[in-house]
Amino acid sequence: MTLPQLQHGARAICPRCSHPLSQHYDNANEQVLAYAITSLVLLLLALSLPFLNLSAAGASNQISLPYTAWSYSQQNMPLMGLLVSATIVGIPLLMLGLSLATYLPLWRQRPSPWLTDAAHWLFLLQGWYMADVFLLGLVVSLVKLHSMADLQLGLAFWAYMGFTLCFTLMQSRVDRLQCWRQIAALRGLTVPREINTLQHCRHCGFLYLKKSSHCPCCHSRSHRTDRRRCLNHTLALLVTASLLYIPANLYPIMITSEFGQETSSTILGGIWLLVELHSYPVAIIIFCASVVVPLAKLLALFYLCWMAKKPRRQDRRQQTQLYRVAEFMGKWSMVDIYVVAILIALVQLQGLMRVEAGVGALAFASVVIVTMLAAERFDPRLLWRNRTFT
């Protein structure tokens, strides 16, 4: 479809599937830069100041945000430590740098050598930012520990909350289509007039000749949807996630040692413990994030793969909306992983209480990552094909 030049505050909605395509703000570049700089300052403060302090029976333990992010590595789980560090610190820092590298040249109206690559990686990493999920895990951890010990919130805690708010506001002003339109205009690119020989770039939305091997705007390789390969890759990832979901629920996700007595907790066991503590709202959140969302996402993607083989015209809009919901909700299953990360970093009171990570945490994190990759690999445009799969 042809998208007109939008006015300030106007939104473009797809007439076929009702998905928001773009929203234009006249001063979006200035707002993105302002929020990015503010977020960067707050994140650097959060990394350098005390984060949380736990005290019980005369013993205390104070942790910082970097130590919390890398806590799994202290339990001989370096891959988990790398995953948590990347999703709550590394990727946000990288995205802030990419935002500045992208929007500063657009604001100055001067192209830079790194502009195209920076924009490409900025939009590629958008789905892997999880600071908001980490904050939810932090709230759950504080509720769990509130009745056991005294907790003090450091300045880094408030700085990280401010960072998450500013980063979310920055993301609300980053629009993929408007950004690539500005880049194309800045580089003097125009759409060829041969309408019948054009193809659409799935990354930046630019129209260019089919004979070209790369998009002239974002330099992405020319891509035509291969249904068989796309569905096979998605199904392989879904089967892998389904197999990993079994040990994720059978093996303990956390091991608590209190006065020398060890207690292992699976995902369902931790939820039941919250129910016994009468923390019903938190138990419902964990149950939805750790049980309902992963299962619902697996079933939804299996269903969408099946429907992509035999599309039904009357259900296409609902199927596309189901895919968008599954894609958005996937990362919120990481709440339990962040809860364990905070607990194993904070609850290290020698002789009194100690928390260790279980094998189930690694399996469950693998389930979340693999399902997110499956959602990214699935192409919802397959649902709108008229031909049956052969």
The pLDDT-based confidence of 85 (bands split at 50, 70, 90) is very high
Q: pLDDT tens, 306-336?
A: 888 776 666 788 888 899 999 888 888 898 8
- What pLDDT was estimated at residue 389? 39
Q: Is residue 390 part of a domain?
A: no
Instruction: Locate 234 and state its tokens.
Output: 């998605």
Residue 136 has pLDDT above 60, yes or no: yes
Whether residue 179 is found in the same domain as residue 200: no
Whether residue 237 is found in the same domain as residue 107: yes
Segment 122-144 shows an average pLDDT of 87
- What pLDDT was estimated at residue 388? 43
Q: pLDDT tens, 74-84?
A: 788 888 989 99
Q: What is the pTM assigned to this prediction?
A: 0.85
Asked whether the CA dihedral 147, 150, 154, 156 is positive or negative, the reply is negative
Q: Is residue 36 part of a domain?
A: yes
R_g of the chain, CA atoms, integer Å: 23
- What pLDDT was estimated at residue 213? 67
Q: Percent of the chain, pLDDT > 90?
A: 29
Whether residue 323 is found in the same domain as residue 214: no
Whether residue 129 is found in the same domain as residue 158: yes
Which structural domain range is residue 219 located in? 192-224
d(CA 305, CA 314): 17
Least confident of 98-102, 206-210, 299-303: 206-210
Residue 91 has pLDDT above 50, yes or no: yes
Whether residue 82 is found in the same domain as residue 206: no
Find the largest Cα–Cα distance for the chain: 77
- What pLDDT was estimated at residue 197? 60
Segment 147-174 shows an average pLDDT of 89
Residue 381 has pLDDT above 60, yes or no: yes
- What pLDDT was estimated at residue 145? 78
135: three-class secondary structure by DSSP: helix
pLDDT, mean over the chain = 84
| Cβ atoms of residues 334 and 87 within 8 Å | yes
The pLDDT-based confidence of 339 (bands split at 50, 70, 90) is confident
Q: How many domains does the chain have?
A: 2
Q: pLDDT tens, 245-293?
A: 999 989 988 887 776 677 778 888 878 877 876 777 878 888 888 889 9
Whether residue 117 is found in the same domain as residue 208: no
Least confident of 67-71, 132-136, 207-211, 379-383: 207-211
d(CA 20, CA 266): 39
- What pLDDT was estimated at residue 312? 64
Residue at which a domain ends, from 224, 245, 269:
224
Whether residue 184 is found in the same domain as residue 213: no
Whether residue 169 is found in the same domain as residue 241: yes
Whether residue 337 is found in the same domain as residue 322: yes
